[in-house]
Each structure stands twice: as structure tokens, then as C-alpha cells.
A and B are shown apart, each in its own frame.
Chain A
């Protein structure tokens, strides 16, 4: 496929690795914010091929992983109702709530449907006027325009049986939270390129200014990730701290104006709790006042929740880059993608799942050796 194969070229990757060897004179730690990049890095072994002085810290950029437990429990309560059809991206179905997950609700007779596009949920609502159709609207800025469109479509079609359970999160406040933590070890950030296709790059200027850290907008294919790493290291070695774009074929400085206009109309900024991390001020979006009528949380009053995390799961530390997944005692033993204790083992972007998928055997050998 065009624009995929070219950015997998091993010969060019070798040049990037060589150049990185030459650039680096000191130890540096870079954080790739996005879980999609974590998967690319672990899958292709990029972290293992980098010079020993360069450490990659995996960031919290997995929307499935950071959706608060309380919101998952609300989703479960709504999905269990007889009068609802609950629509969600597939990744959310196995995320453990306090007591069960969406799969279990489905096997107990709940109508839970996996959608590929959020617009599928609106179509389902049109086809089932007798049911309340609830869409689980999660994601970063990349997914938000698609989710926002459901509300506009529902309004255009005059649907009164559609609503969205919203748990949107934003990247810049998360970077700010990590960068201002006193024990942060991160010297530079690889920004999640697809978030920037929507939002552009201007939001990152104040962060660079405030924390004096390089932020490099980075893509997802192996050469893209390596180019992000290479440019970040060049900045660090030269003592620069700038916003740089290593993914210009997809990211324009202004982002996507049509998407930004809809986001500004449909959403407003709010404080948001991140699972495993805690509340980060102004780090989420909720429906704006004009569209609040589509908010599933007000439509279905869910109370009496007793939220309880697994006491064994260390996903909070994993999400903050404080430990690697394999340092968790449960990793691969009591916690596997089939029976996950934490959301980071479920999602295709979760760091625990990435290590399980690509590193488990190597890690076991390491232990044996």
C-alpha cells in the first residue's frame, strides 16, 4: 500500500539508527505519548535497537486505558438496561469495570454492539426508534470529530432516542501534567501525530516555552517514529527546545479547520479524571451547553456506584511511565489479554498488551537465563 511500504524500508531505517548513534553523546529519556506509537516501537523492537543511552518511556496516550473506572461502571449500568442498545468501539468491551465488563453484559442478554464508525450508532438509532441508543464516545482529539458528528447527525435527523456517554481526553494538558511532575524523567516528547492532523501544532508552543522541552510531532510507521526520535535527540544535543514536525505529509500547522470548527461547537473543555492517574485540570471535553440534551449521563441517572479498582493492578504507574509493564508482578501470570486486570492489558494501544503481544517470550527467556 502506498505511504505504508515506503515508511517501512529497513535500509532507510538503518541510516536513521546510524545517525542517531552519531548524534547521541549523553543519556536521554523520550516519551512517546501515544499508545499507537508504543505498539509500533515494541513491535519493531525500535527501543531495543536504539543506543543504550536513549530510553523510551511509554506515555498515557491510550483512550481506552485512561477512561475512568466510574465511567466504565456507568456504561455497564446503562448497557444492562432492557430499553437500550449500547454501541461502542470494540476495544472497550473487555475493559474491566468494578465487577464485570461489557462482554459479560452482552452474554447476560444486554444489547451491546460494536461499531466501526460512530455514525453506525446514529444509523442504529434511526432503525430502532423504540430503543434508547447510547454511544460510548471516548478518544483523544483524533476521534473527537467523528464522535461530535454523531450529535450533529442525530439533531439533523430529529432523533430523540440517541445519546452519547462522553469521556474525551486531551493531549496537551496530559503533557503539561507529566512535565510539571517533580519526578518526571522525560527530556523530550514525541507528540501523537494523528491528534495533530486535527488540532495542528500551535497548542504545543506554550508547552515548549513553559517547560523548555522539545516536542516533535511524530507519525506511526517505523521510519516516522525513528525520524521523531532523531529530531528530538538533535534538539536535545544542540540545546534547543522547539515544536518540530516529523510528520508533515499528514500534519499541517493549522490542523483540520473543518473538524476544529465542529469541535468548538459541540464540545467544551472540562476537568477529567484519567484512570490510574487522577484528575487533570482542563484535560477533557464534554458536550457544550447547546448539545447537553444528548448527554447520556443526564439522560440516565446512574447512581449507587461503588467503584473498585483491582488492588493488584499497577496500570497507573505504567501509564505515567514509572514502570514498564513487565515489572508488574501480575504481568502474564494472573493478568493476560484474555483475563485482564487492568485496561492497559486490553486495548490494542495499551502498553501491557503491547509487551504481552510482542515481548512475552523474550521476557520469559530473560528471566530463565
Chain B
């Protein structure tokens, strides 16, 4: 195991185990029991990051798509500006505008 690794999975089922909220989480085909004590607002269908058996954060779909869109756009920006990678200053400034 890796200490600080968080693995994303989908919440399939939520139940109460003697007062502790637990979930069954699907990790690409493998299901595991995960403690939801730190994510009490989680719902079935949410993606969560799981670390040593605990859900520690919800993965926000909108921000995931936004980040991917941002990365997609940096390349396009360069193409639009018709720059060679060697043409530096303008590109850096333009790229900075987006952040």
C-alpha cells in the first residue's frame, strides 16, 4: 500500500453500522467497504477519494472537467497565436491570463 495514496471510487451503497456511516465503494470492478464518517453528506453515485479505508473528499465532476478543458486550451492557445515553442515572452504572458 502507499501511505498517502487516495484512490477514486464510486459509492454504490450506504448503510449504518452501529452508528458509523459506511459505504460500499466500487474501484473499477473491485468493491470495498469504506467509512463515511468524514463525508456524511455523500450520496450514492458520488465519486470519492478513499485513503486507508476512509472517504476523505468528494471528487467534483465539474472541476475535473474544467481542469481537463484548461489543459486542452493551453495547446490551442499556442496554435491560435501561431507560435513556435521557441517564441517565448508573449506565450508566457498569454498563458498566465487564464489562471
Contact = CB atoms under 8 A, between A and B. Distances in A.
Interface string B1-36: 111111010100000000110000001100000010
A303 B59 CA distance: 46
A89 B34 CA distance: 16
Interface stretch (A59-67, A282-290, A355-363): A59-67
Contacts of A140: 3-4
Contacts of B68: 6-7, 9, 12, 223
Contacts of A62: 3
Contacts of B96: 234, 238
A91 B3 contact: yes
B14 to A, nearest CB: 15
A159 B91 CA distance: 62
Contacts of B19: 156
B89 to A, nearest CB: 8
Given A16-B74, A22-B95, A89-B1, A258 B40 contact: yes
Contacts of A143: 3-4, 51-52
Contact of A197 (B1, B49, B85): B49
A197 B57 contact: yes
A246 B67 CA distance: 8
A298 interface: no
Interface residues of A, number: 70
A89 B28 CA distance: 23
Given A35-B4, A238-B96, A258 B71 contact: no
Nearest to A89: B1
Contacts, number: 180
Nearest to B2: A348
Contact of B39 (A12, A117, A258): A258
Say what secondary structure dominates the interface of chain B: mixed
Contacts of A2: 8, 10, 47
A23 B4 contact: no
Contacts of A258: 37-40
B52 A89 contact: yes
A340 interface: no
Contacts of A145: 38, 54, 56
B47 to A, nearest CB: 6
Nearest to B55: A256
A249 B88 CA distance: 30
Interface string A21-34: 11101000000001
A349 B4 contact: yes
A248 B4 contact: no
A19 B95 contact: yes
Nearest to B76: A15
Given A3-B64, A18-B75, A146-B51, A119 B4 contact: no
Contact of A1 (B2, B28, B78): B28
A252 B57 contact: yes
Interface string B60-91: 11011011101110110010000101011101
A323 interface: no
Contact of B64 (A22, A23, A234, A249): A249
Contacts of A34: 4
A194 interface: yes
26 contacts: A2-B47, A12-B75, A16-B71, A19-B91, A22-B78, A22-B85, A22-B87, A25-B89, A90-B1, A91-B1, A117-B35, A142-B4, A143-B4, A146-B52, A149-B54, A194-B6, A195-B4, A220-B5, A234-B99, A238-B96, A249-B64, A258-B38, A258-B39, A258-B40, A259-B56, A348-B1
5 A-B pairs closest in CB distance = A117-B53, A15-B75, A1-B28, A197-B57, A249-B64
Given A194-B4, A227-B71, 16 more contacts: A23-B95, A25-B92, A35-B4, A64-B3, A117-B54, A142-B3, A142-B51, A143-B3, A194-B56, A197-B49, A198-B56, A223-B67, A249-B60, A250-B60, A251-B57, A259-B38
Interface of A: 1-4, 6-7, 9, 12, 14-16, 18-19, 21-23, 25, 34-36, 39, 61-64, 89-91, 116-120, 138-140, 142-143, 145-146, 149, 153, 156, 192, 194-195, 197-198, 220, 223, 227, 230-231, 234, 237-238, 244, 246, 248-252, 256, 258-259, 262, 347-349
